[in-house]
Amino acid sequence: MSDHASAQYDLIVIGGNPAGLSLAWAAQRAGVERVAVLSRGESVIGKDLVGRHRVEVHYQAEVRRIGRIDDERVFVETDHVTLQASAVVISQRVGITRAEPPFAIDPAVADRVHGVYGTIESDDSWATGDDDILVVGEGESAATAAISLAELGAGVVLALPNEGVKFLSRWARDELQWLESQRRLTVLWRSMPDEIGELGGLPMAYFPDRRTPDLQFDHVVVAYHPAEVADPMDALAIEIDEAAGDRLAFLVEASTTEPEPISRVGITAAVGNAWNRIQPHFFPDHDVRIEQVTTWVGGDEIAGLREKHYNATITAFDPHHSDLWVLRVKPDHGDASHQPGQYATLGLGHWEPRIDNIREQADDKKRTSLIRRSYSISNPIFDEDGYLFDRSESDELEFYIVLVRPEGDSIPSLTPRLALKTPGERIYLGAKVAGRYTLEKNTDPNATMLFLSTGTGEAPHNAMITELLRKGHQGPILNAVTVRYAQDLAYREKHEALAERFPNVHYLPLPTREPGVPKRYLQDALTDGTMEEMVGPLDPASTHVFLCGNPSMIGLPEWDGDEPTFPETTGIVELLMDRGFTPDRRGTPGNIHYEEYW
């Protein structure tokens, strides 16, 4: 043992990563008084939480030796000081063999796909603050990579699969929520791409779940659990006295709360269950389970949760009727820039009241979490002076939302809470405005443009049509929408005004349950010639069709190579393909564009 004076602790955690910090925080909450974290770097991941949770961190502490003092204590010798502790937990990643990613990567973008394990440093030349970066992987490794990139200033989307969510440390989970509230990071919970392709020289992430659109990035980071982990006793650059082994533990990433031992000394604890695992061994008098530890809020719990999660203000809430609203949201951070047709995510907490007073079953963890859903961004169409709306002059986003009511066993969570909101109240707005359902592929100002939608699927078309007219589009434009009743057409007056002002604009509202009005669907208006009477012949060489809304209206086929199998109910896609149109799908540019995330 060194001759240096020894500071005395109950627990020393070696490793300033989220897993180590999370364990230190949990121990303190359970009543362990003297806890220290030793970090080799000048900072730690989630440094904003250090002060909030009063975690003692020793920076630039390079551990050289761990040895035995007596039956109850060990020492930790660093390059600067020697410390004593009742227990030591090592949270440094060592001896790692990475697993291969479970998806194909196009060789054309291989140099933009980076395999990492944990923290990404600022000296990584590709990790610049101006880039959009997708992080894919499991658990703590992926979360740590995403957090470190966000702290470097990159625009980050983190995709976590089902099993990658439950084994996060609480520190990592809290930091992800904090960064999301600041609109510095977006998490796609329970989502994973099945292919990284190439588009325009950049990686394109394709997702098999139709609820997650394909997204393009500057770089992709793959961060996975290790395929193999060597014995830390052999791999760590630390001299460890085996006599200290009964006061020693190693943190590992594992998909179980009781992982297999990885060392010939000490015990092994999974990141997501670390305190519960080490407590019986080292701190039997502090029998507090991690599930009993409250979330990081105090005082008025709801006020604290709102302060923690919400990052935008509802500036307008205009009910067209009780179940249909147009609302605008202004973010606290960042701007409202987007391409017409893209979507953003709105969220409210489970703690918010519901308009229907239904009591949902929720444990404490769910009760303090956010409900999120993505909505296409709409458009006011006209500004206050009657000119076409210029989105570049606005710091707000507009949304067109219908109240979803309970049906059978299906209990909607978000809109019954949103129904009670008023202007001035707070809300969560996701950091990533995304989506490929845009006008990007239409460059012909004389093309015929058909926008077909059901219900609030009209939202992205409001923005797209306004954009076309602002740019002087000369070709015919048709906006056709089906709703149940005429009262469900919140933008009807504005679209009729557009049609009066611009001779090339046509509006076709189709209420299907209005008394005295024959029931007609969009498929009927296409097959009976109504659409062609309004805009002229539908030539695949000069026509683009945009579809948003009910999947039965769209009617996407399943593909076996180039052979489509259509749904039993005939949709617009099948009718158009019979006329020579081509769906715009992965690897096959087409003139039928669709958005299913309505």
Query: Is residue 546, in this structure, part of any structural domain at all?
Result: yes
Query: Is residue 221, in this structure, part of any structural domain at all?
Result: yes
- How much is the average pLDDT of 78-90? 92
pLDDT greater than 80 at residue 275: yes
Which amino acid is it at 164?
A: G
Sorting pLDDT into bands at 50, 70 and 90, what band is 214? confident
pLDDT of the residue at 482: 97
Query: Is residue 436, in this structure, part of any structural domain at all?
Result: no
- Around Cβ 391, how many Cβ atoms within 10 Å? 20
Q: Are residues 453 and 582 in the same domain?
A: yes
CATH code at position 249: 3.50.50.60
Q: What is the pLDDT of residues 298-324, one digit of tens each?
A: 335 788 888 889 999 999 999 998 889
Q: What is the pLDDT of residues 523-558, one digit of tens each?
A: 999 999 999 999 999 999 999 999 999 999 999 999
Q: What is the DSSP string of 5-67?
A: -EEEEEEEEE--SHHHHHHHHHHHHTT---EEEE-SSSS-TTHHHHHHHT-EEETT--EEEEE
pLDDT of the residue at 530: 97
Which amino acid is it at 592?
A: I
Burial class (CB in 10 A: 0-12, 13-18, 19+), 504: middle
Domain final position from 268, 292, 316: 292
Q: How high does pLDDT run on average in the chain?
A: 86
Q: What is the pLDDT of residues 422-466, one digit of tens each?
A: 899 999 999 888 888 999 888 899 999 999 999 999 999 999 999
Sorting pLDDT into bands at 50, 70 and 90, what band is 470? very high
Q: What is the pLDDT of residues 217-260, one digit of tens each?
A: 999 998 865 556 667 777 678 888 888 889 999 988 766 667 77
Higher pLDDT, 176 or 213: 176
Instruction: Give the rounded percent of residues in the chain with a pLDDT score beyond 70.
Output: 88
Sorting pLDDT into bands at 50, 70 and 90, what band is 74? very high
pLDDT greater than 50 at residue 585: yes
Domain of residue 384 covers 301-429
- How much is the average pLDDT of 282-296? 66
Q: Are residues 81 and 164 in the same domain?
A: no
pLDDT of the residue at 220: 92
Q: Are residues 189 and 121 in the same domain?
A: yes
Domain count, the chain: 4
Q: Are residues 161 and 119 in the same domain?
A: yes
pLDDT greater than 90 at residue 73: yes
Domain final position from 270, 292, 314: 292
pLDDT greater than 80 at residue 128: no
Q: Are residues 214 and 238 in the same domain?
A: no
For residues 372 and 391, give the distance between their C-alpha atoms in angstroms, rounded to a whole number.
24
User: Dmax over Cα atoms in the chain, in whole Å?
Assistant: 95
Query: Is residue 435, in this structure, part of any structural domain at all?
Result: no
Q: Are residues 403 and 527 in the same domain?
A: no
For residues 271 and 365, give the distance between their C-alpha atoms in angstroms, rounded to a whole number.
18
CATH code at position 476: 3.40.50.80
Q: Are residues 579 and 473 in the same domain?
A: yes
Query: Is residue 540, in this structure, part of any structural domain at all?
Result: yes
Higher pLDDT, 499 or 199: 499
Query: Is residue 271, in this structure, part of any structural domain at all?
Result: yes
pLDDT of the residue at 105: 92
Find the range with the poorest average confidence among 140-149, 186-195, 223-232, 360-369.
223-232
pLDDT of the residue at 519: 93
Query: Is residue 242, in this structure, part of any structural domain at all?
Result: yes
pLDDT of the residue at 300: 58
For residues 431 and 183, give the distance between their C-alpha atoms in angstroms, rounded to a whole number.
4
Whether pTM exceeds 0.75? no
Domain final position from 227, 253, 274: 227
Q: Are residues 576 and 475 in the same domain?
A: yes
Sorting pLDDT into bands at 50, 70 and 90, what band is 148? confident
pLDDT of the residue at 80: 85
- How much is the average pLDDT of 270-291? 83
pLDDT greater than 80 at residue 598: no
Dihedral angle over CA of 36, 42, 46, 48, nearest 10: 90
Instruction: Give the rounded percent of residues in the chain with a pLDDT score beyond 90.
Output: 50
CATH code at position 415: 2.40.30.10
In Å, how far are 46, 94, 158, 555, 587 from 150, measured between CA atoms?
10, 24, 10, 39, 31
Q: Are residues 352 and 382 in the same domain?
A: yes
pLDDT greater than 90 at residue 594: yes
In Å, how far are 98, 129, 178, 234, 252 from 230, measured between CA atoms?
12, 34, 34, 7, 11
Query: Is residue 503, in this structure, part of any structural domain at all?
Result: yes
Q: Are residues 470 and 365 in the same domain?
A: no
Residue 344 belongs to what H/E stretch?
Answer: strand 343-349
In Å, how far are 352, 357, 411, 415, 556 from 405, measured between CA atoms?
17, 12, 7, 8, 26
Q: Are residues 578 and 453 in the same domain?
A: yes
Q: Are residues 18 and 106 in the same domain?
A: no
